[in-house]
């Protein structure tokens, strides 16, 4: 089975120049340039690296933009799969999700990212965060100051990847006369966020923002609007900041079964976070109350078909085009789709998603 990620995983997408738009096959008029939402695959690191290769090849061949691969402690790292997929493809960007100081020293992480950028210039990206508390606890680590620690990690990586000198002491790590000799341009560094303070940190410091699976389209649209307003106040160009949403997808004719699977999965996650991400879909307190009274199974009825259809991509194959357009309408620059299904079925699903993606959007969203 292909994986899903639920954790702090393009307002309008950046407009292409006329030449870039024509090269991508997008429509160009006299007064506006066609633009497209980026479309990527996302893997969580719980499944087989090699079993996903046919889907990765299909994504590269059918015009997908990237692969997002999450690192989860105790499962797969992100560096080895990234290396394999970069060497197996020609066009895809590879984004490493979940880079955190709990898993390795940031100096080692910077060395790995610089090496990846060297073998695939311009095709590497990373999203940093705190790590999932229960997972980093397995390494004897904890989340103390999530926002401050994430900013410190981001700044340390950025300095190191630019070849700067690092002499700094942080609570969990230190640099003493550390300096890289990178042979490629530094990859962009995003921040993974859910709540306002971490989103603000991304706007102020990062190259982009990665938003969690399980986010309602209302949450995504509100977040995009807030980010665009904050960027404008800071004088940061909108087209230089990428907003990516990770989206869980069940593409099947058996809608009832798919919705039940999503409900069963989400009922096992932190209820407060799940409620927050499901803004506008779950009444405040309903999920937490259900779990408090009857455990995870009591939470399943809260995930009605209407709720599921707001926080995940659940549709038959013929509904893909409309489903993807709904996400494009939230203003995110990129959706990173985590599809559920047997690995052997994923290449055809990838090609179907590529064919269904919104090919052109107005540069002025309605």
CB distance 10 to 336 below 8 Å:
no
Mean predicted lDDT score pLDDT of the chain: 87
- pLDDT tens track for 62-102: 999 999 999 888 888 999 999 999 999 999 999 999 998 88
Residue 116 CB burial class (10 angstroms; 0-12, 13-18, ≥19): buried
Q: d(Cα 188, Cα 242) in Å, to the nearest integer?
A: 10
- pLDDT tens track for 155-201: 999 999 999 999 999 988 999 999 999 999 999 999 999 999 999 99
- pLDDT tens track for 115-140: 999 999 999 999 998 877 677 777 77
Among 251, 223, 266, residue whose Cα is nearest residue 337: 251
pLDDT at 300 over 90: no
Of 137-146, 205-214, 307-316, the poorest mean pLDDT is in 137-146
What does pTM read for this prediction? 0.87
Residue 44 has what pLDDT? 85
Q: d(Cα 226, Cα 233) in Å, to the nearest integer?
A: 11
Residue 29 has what pLDDT? 32
Say which residue, 321 or 363, is predicted with more confidence.
321
Q: d(Cα 36, Cα 125) in Å, to the nearest integer?
A: 20
Q: d(Cα 304, Cα 276) in Å, to the nearest integer?
A: 16
């Amino acid at each position: 089975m292909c994986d899903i990620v639920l954790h702090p995983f393009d307002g309008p997408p950046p407009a292409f120049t006329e030449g870039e738009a024509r090269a991508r096959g997008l429509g160009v008029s006299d007064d506006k340039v066609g633009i497209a939402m980026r479309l990527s695959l996302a893997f969580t690191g719980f499944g087989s690296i090699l079993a996903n290769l046919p889907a990765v090849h299909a994504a590269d061949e059918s015009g997908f933009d990237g692969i997002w691969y999450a690192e989860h402690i105790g499962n797969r790292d992100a560096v080895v799969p990234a290396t394999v997929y970069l060497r197996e493809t020609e066009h895809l960007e590879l984004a490493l999700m979940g880079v955190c100081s709990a898993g390795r020293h940031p100096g080692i992480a910077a060395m790995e990212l610089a090496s990846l950028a060297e073998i695939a210039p311009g095709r590497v990206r990373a999203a940093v965060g705190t790590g999932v508390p229960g997972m980093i606890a397995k390494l004897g680590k904890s989340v103390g100051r999530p926002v401050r620690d994430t900013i410190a990690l981001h700044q340390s990586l950025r300095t190191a990847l630019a070849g700067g000198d690092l002499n700094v002491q942080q609570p969990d790590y230190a640099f003493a006369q550390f300096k890289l000799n990178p042979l490629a341009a530094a990859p962009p560094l995003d921040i993974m966020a859910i709540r306002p303070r971490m989103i603000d940190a991304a706007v102020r410091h990062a190259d982009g923002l990665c938003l969690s699976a399980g986010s309602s389209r209302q949450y995504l649209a509100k977040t995009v609007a807030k980010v665009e307003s904050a960027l404008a106040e800071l004088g940061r160009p909108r087209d230089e900041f990428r907003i990516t949403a990770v989206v869980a997808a069940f593409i099947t004719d058996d809608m009832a079964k798919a919705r039940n699977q999503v409900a069963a999965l989400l009922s096992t996650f932190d209820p407060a976070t799940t409620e927050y991400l499901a803004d506008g879909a779950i009444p405040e307190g309903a999920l937490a109350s259900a779990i408090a009274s009857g455990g995870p199974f009591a939470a399943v009825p809260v995930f009605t078909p209407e709720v599921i259809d707001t926080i995940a991509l659940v549709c038959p194959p013929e509904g893909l085009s409309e489903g993807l357009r709904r996400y494009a309408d939230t203003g995110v620059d990129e959706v990173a789709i985590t599809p559920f299904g047997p690995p052997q079925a994923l290449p055809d699903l990838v090609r179907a998603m590529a064919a269904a993606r919104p090919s052109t959007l107005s540069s002025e969203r309605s």
